Amino acid sequence: MKQLQVFIISDSVGETGEQVAKAVVTQFRPNYEDAVIRRFPYTRTEEGLRKIVHFASLKGALVIFTLVHANMRLLATQLCEAQGVTAVDVLGPVIDAMDIVVDEAPLEKPGILHQLDDDYFKKIEAIEFAVKYDDGRDPRGLLQADIVLIGVSRTSKTPLSQYLAHQRYKVANVPLVPEVEPPKELFEIDPAKCVGLVISPEKLNYIRQERLMALGLNNDAMYAKHSRIEQELAFFEKITARIGCHVIDVTNKAVEETANRIIRHLQTIKRT
């Protein structure tokens, strides 16, 4: 099987070109086997463009470029043709078509789509918050969070935190373990922003066994035993009852579905 190499050349971050490349590569290599996609962002000089195209010719790579300056697009096309590099201009044809429709010259300003506005900053701040206060690392984050997730191990607390962070919510999560008293801050926050994540013992047993095997460990360890799981879930029920928080059953639910339920729950509370 021939290796696929795709070079993304962009005068901004290169996300558009990479998404196009991934959509196409998966038609040939569904699991990205023998496929390499490399981004060359902020390519705004002729010298830089020449070096990348030459490198692509040495590697036999397909070049996808998203350049807003007409002269840079023209140079990229000429360089690729001269060096026998197959290239695709993603933005050029669309810009030219739009020019005809609106009868206006394009701004040719790189990175407008990713301008650092307030919404962008809120998203980045929320993502950084979720990382900082993941897995109960710092209980002080519970007081600052928009959402606090609690649950036993392997109930998708971290993936949910990241997904909700991309929706601009500051999320902290706390693992519940019978041998460890939850942080006092958990009982000081507004119960309305706390969500418990519960799962069926059977499903949790399966997930934990798979996790242990993935780590190369024996899948009959105490971590995955039914008795241990029942003990943890009983402790979970005790804590959620003490807090008086909303509980969502995540058994067989995708992260997106659970996240949407959490968001709807918060919106309902705000309206009441």
Q: Say whether 189 sits in a helix, a strand or coil.
A: coil
Q: What angle do CA 66, 68, 74 make, to 5 degrees?
A: 80
Residue 36, pLDDT above cutoff 70 = yes
> Which stretch of DSSP H or E encloses residue 235?
helix 226-243
Q: What SS3 class is residue 64?
A: strand
Residue 145 domain boundaries: 118-271
Residue type, 262: I
- Clarify whether residues 104 and 161 are in a common domain: no
- Cα Rg for the chain, rounded, in angstroms? 25
Residue set of the binding site for ADP:
151-158
Question: pLDDT (tens digit, 9 = 90+) per residue, 182-194?
Answer: 999 999 999 999 9
**Mean per-residue pLDDT of the chain:** 94
Is there a single domain that holds both residue 127 and residue 201?
yes
Instruction: Mark whether 122 and 23 lie in a shared domain.
Output: no
Does pLDDT of 217 surpass 70? yes
Are residues 129 and 167 in contact, defined by beta-carbon separation less than 8 angstroms?
no
Closest CA to 158 of 190, 134, 176, 191: 134
pLDDT confidence of residue 74: 97
* Residue 220 binned pLDDT confidence (cut-offs 50, 70, 90): confident
pLDDT band at 13 (very low <50, low <70, confident <90, very high): confident
Q: Pull the structure tokens for residue 158.
A: 């971290």
Q: What is the pLDDT of residues 117-131, one digit of tens each?
A: 677 888 899 999 999
Q: Can you give the pLDDT at residue 115?
A: 61
- Asked whether residue 110 falls in the same domain as residue 130, the answer is no
Residue 131 and residue 175 in one domain: yes
Output the DSSP codes for 113-154.
GG---HHHHHHHHHHHHHHHTGGGS-THHHHH-SEEEEESTT
Do residues 188 and 54 share a domain?
no
First to last CA, the chain: 60
123 & 188 share domain: yes
Confidence bin at 16 (pLDDT 50/70/90): very high
If one counts the domains in the chain, the total is: 2
| pLDDT value at residue 254 | 93
107 shares its domain with 141? no
In the three-class reduction of DSSP (H, G, I as helix; E, B as strand; rest coil), residue 105 is classed as coil
What is the Cα–Cα distance from 212 to 98, expressed in whole angstroms?
55
Q: Which residues lie across from 35 on neighbouring strands?
A: 4
User: Considering only 76-80, 87-91, 216-220, 256-260, which range has the smallest mean pLDDT?
Assistant: 216-220
Say whether both 137 and 251 belong to one domain: yes
Sorted by sequence, the CB contacts under 8 Å of residue 186 that are 6+ apart come out as: 139, 142, 148, 150, 174, 194, 239, 243
Q: Is the pLDDT of residue 272 over 80?
A: no
Amino acid 31: pLDDT:
86
SS3 assignment, position 4: strand
- My answer on whether 94 and 171 are in the same domain is no
Residues 57 and 135 in one domain: no
The pTM for the full model equals: 0.61
The CATH code of the domain that includes 229 is 3.40.50
Report which of residues 157 and 109 the model is more confident about: 157
Binding site listing:
151-158
Output the six-digit token pair for 63: 């070049």
Share of the chain above pLDDT 70, in %: 98
- At a CB cut-off of 8 Å and minimum separation 6, what does 216 contact? none
Instruction: Single out the residue in 114, 147, 167 at which a domain terminates.
Output: 114
32 pLDDT higher than 90: no
Distance CA 54, CA 222 (A): 57
Is residue 62 predicted with pLDDT exceeding 80?
yes
Q: Residue 117's pLDDT is what? A: 64
Amino acid identity at 195? V
